[in-house]
Amino acid sequence: MDIKIWGCRGSIPAPIKPADVKQKIKEGIVDCLNTTQGGDDIESQVDNYLATADVAKTFGGNTTCLEVKAKGYNEATIEDKISYMFDCGSGLREAGLDMMSRGNFFGNGKVKVFLSHMHWDHINGFPFFVPAFIPGNKVIVYGSKTHEEALDLALKGQSEEQGIESVLTNGVASGAVDCLAQYALTVQQSAGLFPVKLKEMPSSIQFHYLENEEVVENGVRVESKYFGDRTPEYNFKTGEGLVPRHKEGIFSYKVIEDGKSFVYATDIELDQPTKKGSVDTEYLAWIKGVDVLYADAQYTPEEYNPAEHGKQGMAKIGWGHSTYETIIDYAKEAGVKKLLLGHHEPTRNDKGLIELHKRATEYAKQGGYEGKVEMAFEGMNVTL
Ligand SMILES: [Zn+2]
Ligand SMILES: [Zn+2]
């Protein structure tokens, strides 16, 4: 399979800042002048310098969106060319444009979208997804059946139209739709919030709700796993109990093809396994031995728990994201072969992310993790 990262920023899009651009140019020029020899071939020397220079790297500002294509995608018939998308963050806009350039989304393209949850950074690209505006294309959205309050209060017997209207009037607590993904995407494109309603998008958009189950197609298996809160619940005052994995729960997905596996596990907060009695055995079993794990490593340990590191600042415990150390500990324990760190903190610039990667690599080395630790970046391709 081929995995492509279209967005890996956490929480909110974070475009590069003008001051950072200026700083990069300055550093690049100074550095380059110190390493190039001058002469006629200056352009190729600059190209060589830029090919490896840290200053030329950028991780991108778009929120989460990954695409998986099965082996043989290029040679497959149009019916079998399926893009498996994981989340619809703002990176989906670029993905959609790229799909159009592939030429097979002019009326007979097929996309399967797997949503981890409905927080806005994971759905905000959908209204800008060009293939969804082309009649005949099929967009199949898989997401959580609903979260509990919506499920419990589901207003059975209403038409979809009435149900959605009722949710728009009364909020999700009315539970008037039986698929949270449909609710979230509908609300996002409701009158006053976006000019085109979801139901006005000309492609065929279908919703499927998931519990833990599998979707199998053309030799590709996509398994889903729901991670809810754990007990005992975390007590924010005493620090006792287990941190909530993510507010209102989260789906993780595993793609398997030809015995190779990729797990997409974003927005999951885990206690460090070194913390007594807190190992998340369910998560550990889920990622056991996988070839590639895309995981949320938004924080450094000092950002997550400043007091524990003798620092002042607002702790991020309970915010739904993990530290790179925690993720590396789990990857080691589970024998993950390659780790992609993602859901990057929006306040961290390229320099900060390169620094985080250095720290993560060092931590992995010292801890004896034998897999590879890489930073996800926009445009990254991983072939399995
Ligand atoms: Zn998120
Ligand atoms: Zn979230």
Residue 301 vs residue 230, higher pLDDT: 301
CA diameter of the chain: 78
Share of the chain above pLDDT 90, in %: 66
pLDDT at 158 over 50: no
Contacts of 218 (CB under 8 A, 6+ apart): 70, 76, 80, 82
Q: Where are the CATH 3.60.15.10 domain residues in the chain?
A: 215-383
* CA 287 to ligand 1 center in whole angstroms: 20
pLDDT at 30 over 90: yes
> What pLDDT does 118 receive?
87
Kindly indicate the confidence band of residue 185, based on its pLDDT and cuts at 50, 70 and 90: confident
215-383: CATH number: 3.60.15.10
* CA 320 to ligand 1 center in whole angstroms: 9
Q: Does residue 342 contact residue 266 with C-beta atoms inside 8 Å?
A: yes
90-118 tens-digit pLDDT = 999 999 999 999 988 999 999 999 999 88
* CA 156 to ligand 1 center in whole angstroms: 31
Average pLDDT taken over every residue of the chain: 88
- Across the range 212-234, mean pLDDT stands at 84
> What pLDDT does 38 receive?
81
- Across the range 149-156, mean pLDDT stands at 38
Least-confidence region, from 4-13, 145-154, 364-373: 145-154
> What pLDDT does 147 receive?
46
Closest CA to 246 of 218, 269, 226: 269
* CA 26 to ligand 2 center in whole angstroms: 36
Ligand whose nearest atom lies closest to the CA of 63: 1
336-373 tens-digit pLDDT = 999 999 999 999 999 999 999 999 999 999 999 999 99
- How far apart (Å, rounded) are the C-alpha atoms in residues 309 and 306? 5
